[in-house]
Amino acid sequence: MARTALARRKKHSSFMGFVLVAMVVLLISVIIFIQGRETKSKLEAYNTQDATLDSQIALEEERSLELDEYEKEVQTKGYAADKARETLGLVQDGEIVFRKDN
């Protein structure tokens, strides 16, 4: 009789051990699943941000090229003369100025 009770306790103990291990595995699986979903949503957000930043980079590179061209234009004598005429009303020697009076 003692052997039967001991055998039942061992059987019960091993069953409880199996249930405990199964619960731990299930818990770990749920945690991994939840973390995977969170990671996937973060990845999608980062991909969206990456695409936005890529388009901004392209726009800024285009703007940089325009500024480089403008810088070259500004350094010419013709640009300086045109600005002097427009803003200051200056004229070069020998030029005749015609004004329209209102």
99 found inside a domain: no
Q: In this predicted structure, what is the pLDDT of residue 64? A: 97
Token reading at 99: 């004004």
98 found inside a domain: no
Which ranges constitute the DSSP H helices of the chain? 2-74, 77-83
59 found inside a domain: yes
Separation of alpha carbons 58 and 64, rounded Å: 10
Q: Which residue is listed with tokens 């941000």?
A: 49
Q: In this predicted structure, what is the pLDDT of residue 28? A: 98
CB 92 within 8 A of CB 81: yes
Domain count, the chain: 1
60 found inside a domain: yes
94 found inside a domain: no
Q: Which residues of the chain have pLDDT under 70?
A: 1-3, 5-8, 10, 102
CB 62 within 8 A of CB 68: no
